[in-house]
Amino acid sequence: MSEQKNTQDNDLITRLALIVGVMGGLFGGLILKGARRKATWTWGRINAWFFYSMTVTFFVLAHNLNIPFFIDSLSWIFPKGLGEWVYFNVPRGMQFTVLVVIPFLGWLGAIGAAVSLRVRKYQVGLDHLGLRTSSNLKPVVIDSFRVGEHQKRLLVRAIGIDINDFKNRKGALESAFNAIVEDIRVLENDRQFIEILLSEKSLPTLVGYDEMVTKHLAAPYTFLVGQSLGEFIVGNLLELHHMIVAGSTGGGKSFFFKQALMGIAESSKHIQFYLIDLKRGVEVKIFERLDNVRIAKEAHEAIAILTAVVDEMDKRFKFLEEKGLTEIVPDRDKMDRIVVGIDEASVLFTIEKSSRSSKAAAQSARDLTDRIAKLGRAAAIHLILATQKVVKETIDTRVQTNINARMVFRVNTVASSMTVLGNKMAAELPEIKGRGIWSVGSKDIVVQVPRLSPEEANDRVDDLLEKFNGTGKCQFGPMLLDLDEVQPKKNIFETHSDKKVQVVNDKVNAS
């Protein structure tokens, strides 16, 4: 009888040990999941746990205001005498473990449990697709992150599985996740992981310019930005003042640059455009028929334009000072609003070490643009800069700090996105032409910008000819300069070099 009882007791102990082991393993797995999650370790949370543990350590080691003292002080919560028992029977190391280590592990476990519950439906959906390696490894959903109001990003560990296996089954993924798969890509810094961008709503891949102009372009000095998941966004020069347009080749940067200029021209009357495109004016050629547009195609013309704009800005400040006003209002002061648009700004602003003349021109352009960015708002002068990269070598940091509106299309690296936006959103955009991030202040909104075709652009310029070239011209004043009269200045360094060459030649001829 006693042997049977011992056997039952041993079986019970074995079962309890098995249950405890399984529970411990599960809890340990949740702790690891919570600990491996990068979003767990924010500075705020780390600091909170550090100060909490330091505070507990102080009271554990204190002689008077210690843990047993506080237990006895809270007699309405704890049984009488518990504090004294803790003082004599529970070592200080165990007190620290109970008050810090166990809660900390519980916190990590709770995070891990929340992540597991959040990704479970995505893991089940992924399992249904049957993706496996030859060694039967399957993709594992590590975490999901809320990107915007209607978007999520899944992080999937897919060791040994080609990303094309996921892309080829995009339709099946959408069915399994009950969401729109906008993009699938390999994680830049760890190629064993892929990211899947999901959307509860879908942005259109093509937005027509003509339809949006009719619906949304009404107020003066406005332009079309793009369709977001919530509403169609319209930009206003009076609120934004200056703007940067950035993105890698083929993302839609040049299309947006042109359609923004077109929108401003169509919605405004008293306005002048000074456009700089050192690629021989290819991108802005459609505007050259308008009398209120000047296009610089060479570096010396660009410097002449920027110099003329800065001179005009100084005149306007003198006018404001004499009149006791704070800013130019075109209708009141009979002065045109001025827009300076620079496409591929890096070509104008990059300082080349090999050429003194190029270095001098680039530095001059940087200084003049900096003045416009700092002071142009009150003088009704605005900057629109387009570039592939926004770094100090292409656009001076002095200029960047004075521009709060940015339209950023897809960039190739996370570092580029961090530079221009301060986050990874531009690097995580899907490869859809015209898909970008509209960033104003602290708001970063994913949009699909309208596409203005070359044919449609020419037709719209035809409509603008009467407005800006006809008998009823709506500009208040003449243009600031005529580029046909601007001649390149010979650089002092080049002149000095020419003289040295001539002296050498004279010596050779004399000998």
What pLDDT digit, counting tens, does each position of 280-300 carry? 767 888 899 999 999 998 888
Asked whether the CA dihedral 390, 395, 400, 403 is positive or negative, the reply is: negative
Cβ atoms of 394 and 346 within 8 Å: the answer is: yes
H or E segment at 49?
helix 43-61
> In terms of Cα–Cα distance, which of 434, 27, 392 is closest to 227?
434
Q: Look at residue 374 and give its three-state secondary structure.
A: helix
Parent domain of 145:
123-199
Per the structure block, which two tokens stand in for 215?
């619906």
Residues 193 and 237 in one domain: no
- Give the highest mean pLDDT range of 205-214, 477-486, 498-507: 205-214
Considering the domain boundaries, does residue 300 fall inside one? yes
Q: Do 173 and 311 belong together in one domain? A: no
Q: Are 340 and 472 within one domain?
A: yes
Residues 258 and 188 in one domain: no
Domain stop point among 140, 168, 199: 199
Q: What is the CATH number of the domain that holds 267?
A: 3.40.50.300
The pLDDT assigned to 22 comes to 74
Residues 421 and 465 in one domain: yes
How confident is residue 382, by pLDDT bands cut at 50, 70 and 90?
Answer: very high
Q: How sure is the predictor about 2, in pLDDT bands with cuts at 50, 70 and 90?
A: low
**Residue 38 domain-assigned (yes or no):** no
Interval 13-19 mean pLDDT? 75
Task: Note whether 188 and 324 are same-domain residues.
Answer: no
pLDDT for position 304? 92
Query: Which of 34, 435, 384, 424 has the alpha carbon at shortest distance from 223?
Result: 384
Q: Are residues 306 and 405 in the same domain?
A: yes
Beta bridge partners of 236: 222
Name which of 10-19, 214-223, 432-441 the model is least confident about: 10-19
Count how many domains the chain has.
2
Query: What is the C-alpha to C-alpha distance for residues 123 and 33, in angstroms, rounded to an integer?
Result: 15
User: Residue 427 falls within a domain, yes or no?
Assistant: yes
Q: Determine the angle formed by the axes of helices 170-177 and 102-128, rounding to 10 degrees.
A: 130
pLDDT at 170 over 50: yes
Structure tokens at 189: 């810094």
pLDDT band per the 50, 70, 90 thresholds, residue 494: very low
Q: Where is pLDDT greater, at 381 or 202?
A: 381
User: By the 8 A CB rule, do 225 and 438 touch?
Assistant: yes
508: CB partners within 8 A, 6+ apart: none
- Is residue 254 a contact partner of residue 343, using CB atoms and an 8 Å limit? yes
- Residue 511's pLDDT is what? 39
Domain at 162, CATH number: 3.30.980.40
Q: Is the dihedral of CA 390, 396, 401, 402 positive or negative?
A: negative
pLDDT, position 498: 41
**Is 96 inside a domain boundary?**
no
Mean pLDDT across 496-511:
40
Is the domain of 362 the same as that of 266? yes
Q: Is 510 within the bounds of a domain? A: no
What mean pLDDT is reported for the chain? 82
Measured in degrees and rounded to the nearest 5, phi and psi for residue 203 equal -80, 145
Higher confidence at residue 114 or residue 234? Answer: 234
Task: Indicate whether 135 and 213 sit together in one domain.
Answer: no
Residues 6 or more apart whose CB falls under 8 angstroms from that of 345 comprise 385, 386, 387, 394, 395
The pLDDT value given to residue 487? 67
354-369 burial, b at 16+ Cβ within 10 Å, e below that, comes to eeebebebbeebbebb
Count CB neighbours of 27 within 10 A.
16
What is the band of 497 on the pLDDT scale with cuts at 50, 70, 90?
A: very low
Which pLDDT score, from 0 to 100, does residue 253 have? 87
- Are residues 179 and 214 located together in one domain of the fold? no
Q: Give the separation between CA 457 and CA 453, rounded to whole angstroms.
A: 6
One domain for residues 312 and 252? yes
Distance (Å, whole) CA 406 – CA 66: 56
Final residue before a domain boundary, out of 159, 180, 199 = 199
Q: Is residue 314 part of a domain?
A: yes
Kindly state the DSSP code that residue 293 receives in the 8-state scheme: E
Is 370 within the bounds of a domain?
yes
Indicate whether 220 and 185 sit together in one domain. no
Give domain status of residue 423, yes or no. Answer: yes
Q: Give the end of a domain, one of 199, 220, 237.
A: 199
